[in-house]
């Protein structure tokens, strides 16, 4: 999964204006983020039609504020620059909860 810094864009909106994306917000100090991180490669493979972008919230506060990300780990699904779903709260998330969320967004 690429970090947003890997895109070398001034504005995160620019990185997601075309295509399908899952934005993953986390922080190095967050134990609930560390809980889901080992499952991220499986999720990326399962939903490979999406580009997954990792945001360290502490390094990307502007993006977190733009998207009202108050709790982490959090996931936001973007399609062609528009948010189509979010799983944003401070609770620990299992792989199954993330799958259920993404499936509910893509099967609308």
Q: 3-class secondary structure for 32-93?
A: HHHHHHHHHHHHHHHCCCCEEEEEEHHHCHHHHHHCCCCCCCEEEEEECCEEEEEECCCCCC
Whether the predicted pLDDT of 9 surpasses 80: no
pLDDT value of residue 46: 97
Whole-prediction pTM value? 0.90
CA distance 93 to 102: 13
Give pLDDT tens digits for 34-93. Answer: 999 999 999 999 999 999 999 999 888 888 888 999 899 999 999 999 999 999 988 899
Whether the predicted pLDDT of 15 surpasses 90: no
2-96 — its CATH code? 3.40.30.10
Higher pLDDT, 39 or 5: 39
pLDDT value of residue 89: 86
* Domain positions in the chain: 2-96
- Supply φ then ψ for residue 34, to 5 degrees: -65, -30
CA distance 68 to 81: 16
CA distance 101 to 85: 8
């Amino acid at each position: 999964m690429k970090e947003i810094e890997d895109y070398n864009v001034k504005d995160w909106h620019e990185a997601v204006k075309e295509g399908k994306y899952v934005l993953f917000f986390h922080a190095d100090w967050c134990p609930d983020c560390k809980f889901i991180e080992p499952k991220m490669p499986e999720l990326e493979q399962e939903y490979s039609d999406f580009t997954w972008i990792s945001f360290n919230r502490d390094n990307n506060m502007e993006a977190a504020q733009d998207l009202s990300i108050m709790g982490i780990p959090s996931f936001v699904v973007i399609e062609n620059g528009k948010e189509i779903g979010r799983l944003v709260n401070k609770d620990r998330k299992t792989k199954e909860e993330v799958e259920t969320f993404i499936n509910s967004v893509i099967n609308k």
